[in-house]
Amino acid sequence: MIKKFFTIFCVALLAMTSCIREEALNTECDIETCTLPEAITPEWKSGDDSNAYELEDPETQQKVTIYPIDFQVRQGVDRTALAPTFTITEGATVEPASGTVRDFTIPQFYKVTSEDRCWSRVYCISVVELNKPLPEHDNAPDHFSFDHARMNKTSGSEGSIFTVFYDTNPFTDADFQWSSGNSGFALTGVAKSYKDYPTLQSDYGFEGKCLQLTTRETGSFGAMVNMPIAAGNLFLGSFDVSNALSNSLKATRFGMTWSKVPVRVSGHFKYKSGDTFYELDKTAPGKMKEVPGKRDLFNIVAVFYEYSDDMPSLDGTNYMDPSMDAYRKSVCMFGRIDAAQRFETDQWTDFEVILEPRDGMKIDPVKLAEHKYKFALVFTSSIHGDTFSGAPGSTLWIDEVTVEYADMNPKME
């Protein structure tokens, strides 16, 4: 009897033990931050992967997705012995290791492997020397034509491919990328091609091609996360797609380092409101409540602000809200298109945005020279898109935008 009981006990114990599984190992394999002290902008943070591209592995003849990390250094910096450092996802490993000294006169590749050893990513870190000395005002372009766009190289269906705008800085001859919410919209699965995205390029500009922003419905997935509408948008800054669903306003980080003080933005626009305006209503079917008779409006906003380690960027929650601490403490110049210019027209029409200095906020020319200020220029097809309200189909076309700058006279110091 005792032997029989012991046998049953062992079998039960074995069964219980087999049900206790080890905690799953991490499958992520990302470089989260990369720091190069010699670079003009020394830190890179992971976010939008829309600039990934594919290369063929010469050994396996298979295509490998490459995730680029780009730095710029001033003329004369020795690129033959640089040691970028980075943080990676928990449990992952990287080869070569963080802090390894390498020759960056050519791009260098890094492979990050997940903790469970089943997944990996290949990053390419490039360090480019500016091909001309940095002038006093080295990174403040004064014209945007929206003629330059490419398709992101994210692997997957045709519906995962979308438009990415970029421009070339005339002072440095280096490309920089505009940001949009396209990578977040891709998560909804609504798009069947790049033409279905909120932000794309049109062939029918004021001159050549232009920017086209269209407010879209996000389908059942968007409704499920209380984001039934996505306004078309384009802005100077970055978009953290990893936070797109949990907090899309925080994911939108406005501003790029700028070395001139903008005082006026002008250009050309056309606008057509969608037929039916909806506001977010979590109790309504599809989370969309119709607002009869209301027409949609577009918006253009320009913000010049001081950033810090404690407040590296303004975001969708505070970039134009004077009640927020981040706005009050950092914004030096602010402007948005006035109500008289927000109207529907099928003809190319001039617009202007005047940036006004905020009372009590002074611009420090030393900090300006040290790249301690950022400029955010934001275009959107629905003025209430940040609350997921608007009229699907509302479309804003923008072209040939010019930025005018102030002289740093004693009044600005």
Q: Are 363 and 260 in contact (CB under 8 A)?
A: no
Q: Are 213 and 232 in contact (CB under 8 A)?
A: yes
Q: Band of the pLDDT at 53, cuts 50, 70, 90?
A: confident
Give me the pLDDT at residue 213, please: 98
57-66, 247-256, 287-296, 386-395: lowest mean pLDDT where? 57-66
164-178, 235-249, 281-295: lowest mean pLDDT where? 164-178
- Is residue 138 over pLDDT 90? no
Q: Cα dist. 335→145, 271, 300, 327 in Å? A: 21, 20, 9, 13
Greatest CA separation for the chain? 100
Q: Are 345 and 273 in contact (CB under 8 A)?
A: no
Q: pTM to 2 decimals?
A: 0.71
pLDDT in tens, 225-268: 999 999 999 999 988 887 777 788 888 999 998 989 999 999 99
Distance CA 342, CA 354 (A): 15
Distance CA 97, CA 88 (A): 11
Span 311-316, mean pLDDT? 92
- Is residue 331 over pLDDT 90? yes
- Is residue 73 over pLDDT 90? no
What's the CA angle centered on 224, arms 221 and 225, to 5 degrees?
Answer: 95
Span 327-347, mean pLDDT? 96
Distance CA 150, CA 208 (A): 16
**For the ranges 168-172, 360-364, 382-386, the one whose mean pLDDT is highest:** 382-386
Distance CA 151, CA 1 (A): 74
Query: For the chain, first and last CA: distance in Å?
Result: 95
Residues of the chain with pLDDT > 90, as a percent, come to 61
Q: Band of the pLDDT at 405, cuts 50, 70, 90?
A: very high
User: How do 149-151 and 143-144 pair as beta strands?
Assistant: unpaired
Q: Are 73 and 79 in contact (CB under 8 A)?
A: yes
What's the CA angle centered on 89, arms 88 and 95, to 5 degrees?
Answer: 45
Give me the pLDDT at residue 134, please: 47
Distance CA 69, CA 83 (A): 14
Give me the pLDDT at residue 140, please: 85
Give DSSP secondary structure letters for 290-351: E-TT-----EEEEEEEE--SSS--EETTTTT-TTSHHHHHHEEEEEE--GGG---EEEEEEE
Give me the pLDDT at residue 155, please: 53
pLDDT in tens, 74-86: 777 888 899 999 9
pLDDT in tens, 172-197: 666 778 999 999 999 899 999 999 99
Q: Band of the pLDDT at 413, cuts 50, 70, 90?
A: very low
Return the HEC string of 90-152. CCCEEECCCCCCECCCCCEEEEEECCCCCCEEEEEEEEEECCCCCCCCCCCCCEECCCCEEEC
DSSP letter, residue 258: -
Distance CA 65, CA 55 (A): 7
**For the ranges 156-170, 279-293, 363-377, the one whose mean pLDDT is highest:** 279-293
More confident residue, 178 or 130: 178
Mean pLDDT over the full length of the chain: 87
Burial 80-112 (b: 16+ CB within 10 A, else e): eebebebebbeebebeeeeeeebebeeebebeb
Phi and psi torsions of 386, nearest 5°: -70, -15
Residue partners of 408: CB distance under 8 A and separation at least 6: 261, 363, 365, 368
Q: Cα dist. 275→285, 295, 339 in Å? A: 19, 8, 20
**For the ranges 46-55, 119-128, 194-203, the one whose mean pLDDT is highest:** 194-203
Q: Are 111 and 94 in contact (CB under 8 A)?
A: yes
Give me the pLDDT at residue 9, please: 40
Q: In the numeric block, which tokens belong to residue 240? A: 């953290």
Span 357-367, mean pLDDT? 89
- Choose among 178, 316, 180, 160: nearest CA to 248: 316
pLDDT in tens, 5-15: 444 444 444 44
9-23, 234-248, 345-359, 384-398: lowest mean pLDDT where? 9-23
- Is residue 128 over pLDDT 70? yes
User: How do 356-357 and 331-336 pair as beta strands?
Assistant: antiparallel
User: How do 373-380 and 63-73 pair as beta strands?
Assistant: unpaired
Sign of CA dihedral 87, 93, 96, 100: positive
List the beta bridge partners of residue 401: 144
Q: Cα dist. 183→154, 191, 382 in Å? A: 10, 11, 18
Give me the pLDDT at residue 54, please: 82
Give me the pLDDT at residue 23, please: 66
Give me the pLDDT at residue 11, please: 44
Q: Band of the pLDDT at 137, cuts 50, 70, 90?
A: very low
